[in-house]
């Protein structure tokens, strides 16, 4: 397929736009003559300033509040139509943008086929498989390119471009605030999306731990009223010399320039941490909840570690509503500091995508093995040794109390639970799987497969990533990771196809 003008729709947050960069680079690699335009919010537009793969950014009128009437909508349609795009890719798809591009009569309209009510507006729908846990957001975007061709050469690199004059400006600003030229550690304490921010008190304690080593200086960034509340709490008990504050003082281009100066960026999966990853700056990702999976949102292809201890909370995770502090309190500053030290001491050359994916897997996936007969005891004990060795999180579901007693003396740091279940008490079983956020169920008997498939369908109503069912008597990290790859129509980046 050949085309000269293509539009990508992504009027979303900074991090979401950054994670779209490999898709843009891949389009340019495969169709070098194509002019790529991106529909974005105004505050993210500068991400693509000077980017060689992007022809131009179109500022979204809807997010600007300029599309409130039917007349406004049709004016917007005429505006989009005036560009004479041949292809539109909905990296962000909802009813408004689907209708907009349909009415603009763009010949090829690509988007997620799993949004059934919007498929009418698409003529090349692609299944993005958002419930396939091991797919990163970068890969979900790349998969949309199946709508253009089944044979794609992938360019998975992140690349943002920092202006030299901005770097000089930021250096002067930091110097005016007390920067002594020491290596910088950045902290962005707020978050967006479905995660929760870490405690401001704990960030303050982390800063104090960092400051014990006079080798570094800490910079805290923020913008807007929500960030100010967090920064005010974080500052309570700090002296003026504990950190440098950049609040409401940087444009997006300035933020990129500042980030390029860092030794490490610390924060949740939010815009500044994804900018850091795109600039190849090491990232310490703070991820307190069970809801957000680093397999999907982890720092892409950069030296990084993700920290979190969400299983001190035994509730079904809903960060949009929950205000309880179990997962937050479990993530102590001393532990985060130790992970920061490990990141600083690590060799960035070791952090291949395969290495990162294994670590994301450990942080994201919770495995339940089914113990239904005494003859399986030796297997179960070896499995417990395995999850300890690889620091996986797992639980044993025992068919009766006698089997449970056989495991009472087992000592394991990786076991998140040993529970009794019954085939007859379905609600209790479903509650268990949802509470522990089980993503993979390992069964040993083929005659149980249909039952567990049925249970999976019900659990899917309660957790975002329902469990995959694996049947077999072998186990390894590779076997478990491969068990999630059930679809051939997605694009999975590997070391061979992504560089």
- Residues 200-241 have pLDDT tens digits of 999 999 999 999 988 999 999 998 888 898 999 999 888 878
Element (H, E) at 294: helix 294-297
Task: Name the fold adopted by 5-147.
Answer: Rossmann fold (3.40.50)
pLDDT band at 436 (very low <50, low <70, confident <90, very high): confident
* Residue, of 223 and 171, whose pLDDT is higher: 171
Q: Mean pLDDT over all residues of the chain?
A: 91
pLDDT of residue 225: 85
For the record, the structure tokens of 147 come out as: 């709508």
Q: Is the dihedral of CA 97, 296, 207, 393 positive or negative?
A: positive
How many other C-beta atoms are found inside a 10 Å radius of the C-beta of residue 412? 15
Alpha-carbon span 473 to 459, nearest angstrom: 24
CB-based contacts of 38: which residues, under 8 Å, 6+ apart?
Answer: 7, 8, 10, 17, 20, 24, 48, 54, 56, 57, 58
What is the assigned CATH class of domain 365-482? Answer: alpha beta
Among the listed residues 43, 45, 25, the one whose alpha carbon sits nearest the alpha carbon of residue 34: 25
CATH architecture of 164-362: 3-Layer(aba) Sandwich (3.40)
Token pair 């068919």: residue:
399
> Taking 70 as the threshold, does the pLDDT of residue 350 lie above it?
no
**pLDDT above 90: residue 252:** yes
By three-state DSSP, how is residue 405 classified? helix
Q: Which residues contact 46 (CB under 8 A, 6 or more apart)?
A: 251, 252, 253, 256
Domain ranges of the chain: 5-147, 164-362, 365-482
Segment 81-116, tens digit of pLDDT: 999 999 999 999 999 999 999 999 999 999 999 999
**How confident is the model at residue 292, as a pLDDT?**
82
**Whole-structure pTM value:** 0.92
Backbone angles phi, psi at 263, to 5 degrees: -90, -40
Are 5-147 and 365-482 in the same CATH fold?
yes
Q: What is the pLDDT of residue 11?
A: 96
Coil, strand or helix at 344: helix
**Beta carbons of 276 and 22 less than 8 angstroms apart:** no
What proportions of the chain, in percent to the nearest 5, are helix, strand and coil? 40, 15, 40
Residue 84 DSSP label = -
Find out whether 10 and 17 touch, Cβ atoms under 8 Å: yes
How far is residue 404's CA from residue 413's CA, in Å, rounded to a whole number?
A: 18
Per-residue pLDDT band for 347 (boundaries 50, 70, 90) equals confident
């Amino acid at each position: 397929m050949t085309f000269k003008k293509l539009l990508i729709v992504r009027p979303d947050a900074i991090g979401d736009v950054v994670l779209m960069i490999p898709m843009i680079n891949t389009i340019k690699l495969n169709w070098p003559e194509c002019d790529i335009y991106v529909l974005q919010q105004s505050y993210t537009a500068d991400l693509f300033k000077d980017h060689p793969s992007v022809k131009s950014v179109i500022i979204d009128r809807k997010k600007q509040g300029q599309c409130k009437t039917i007349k406004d909508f049709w004016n917007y349609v005429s505006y989009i139509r005036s560009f004479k795009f041949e292809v539109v890719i909905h990296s962000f798809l909802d009813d408004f943008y689907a209708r907009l591009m349909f009415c603009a009569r763009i010949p090829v309209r690509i988007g997620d086929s799993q949004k059934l009510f919007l498929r009418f507006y698409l003529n090349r729908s692609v299944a993005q498989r958002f419930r396939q846990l091991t797919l990163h957001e970068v890969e979900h975007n790349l998969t949309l390119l199946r709508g253009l061709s089944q044979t794609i050469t992938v360019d998975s690199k992140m690349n943002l471009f920092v202006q030299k004059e901005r770097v000089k400006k930021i250096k002067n600003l930091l110097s005016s605030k007390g920067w002594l030229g020491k290596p910088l550690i950045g902290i962005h304490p707020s978050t967006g999306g479905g995660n929760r921010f870490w405690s401001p008190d704990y960030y303050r304690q982390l800063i104090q731990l960092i400051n014990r080593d006079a080798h570094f200086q800490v910079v805290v960034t923020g913008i807007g009223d929500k960030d100010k509340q967090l920064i005010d709490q974080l500052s309570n008990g700090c002296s003026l010399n504990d950190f440098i504050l950049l609040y409401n003082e940087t444009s997006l281009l300035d933020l990129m320039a500042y980030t390029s100066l860092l030794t490490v960026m610390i924060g949740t999966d939010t815009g500044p941490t994804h900018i850091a990853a795109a600039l190849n700056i090491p990232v310490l990702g703070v991820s307190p909840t069970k809801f957000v999976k680093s397999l999907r949102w982890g720092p892409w292809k950069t030296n990084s570690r993700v920290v979190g201890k969400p299983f001190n909370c035994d509730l079904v995770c809903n960060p949009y509503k929950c205000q309880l502090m179990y997962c937050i309190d479990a993530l102590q500053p001393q532990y985060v500091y130790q992970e920061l030290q490990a990141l600083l001491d690590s060799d960035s050359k070791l952090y291949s995508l395969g290495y990162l994916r294994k670590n994301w897997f450990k942080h994201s996936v919770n495995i339940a093995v089914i113990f239904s007969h005494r003859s399986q005891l030796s297997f179960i004990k070896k499995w417990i040794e395995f999850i300890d060795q690889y620091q996986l999180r797992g639980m044993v579901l025992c068919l009766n109390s006698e089997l449970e007693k056989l495991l009472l003396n087992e000592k394991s740091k990786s076991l998140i639970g040993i529970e009794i279940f019954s085939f007859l008490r379905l609600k209790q079983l479903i509650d268990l799987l949802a509470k522990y956020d089980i993503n993979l169920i390992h069964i040993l008997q083929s005659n149980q497969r249909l039952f567990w498939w049925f249970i999976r369908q019900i659990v899917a109503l309660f957790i975002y990533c329902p469990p995959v069912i694996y049947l077999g008597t072998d186990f390894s990290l590779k076997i478990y990771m491969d068990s999630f790859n059930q679809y051939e129509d997605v694009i999975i980046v590997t070391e061979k196809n992504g560089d």
